[in-house]
Amino acid sequence: MYTYFTRNEMGDIPFFCPANHPYSSQLIRTACQIRAANLLIMWLAPAVSLFVLIFAVLIAYYYNIENSNV
């Protein structure tokens, strides 16, 4: 929801803040880069957490299978 509501907060500046874009100041470019990093981390963190959780469940599952044959 946050991403939807803030999608146009930087106006016509592209998401990845290219160096050849005519920024009004260096501060605007820095803000753009911080915003892009924030959104990327916001979406990558849950994805990485999900993969870690799946990996942990698989390890626990295989560990239980190995120990149940004893």
* Interior/surface letters 4-23, b for 16+ CB within 10 angstroms, e for the rest: eeeeeeeeebeeebeeeeeb
pLDDT digits (tens, 9 = 90+) for 10-69: 888 998 999 999 999 999 999 999 999 999 999 999 999 999 999 999 999 998 888 776
What pTM was computed for the model? Answer: 0.68
Provide the residue range defining the domain that includes 43. Answer: 2-68
Q: For the chain, how many structural domains are there in total?
A: 1
Q: How far is CA 60 from the centre of its chain?
A: 27
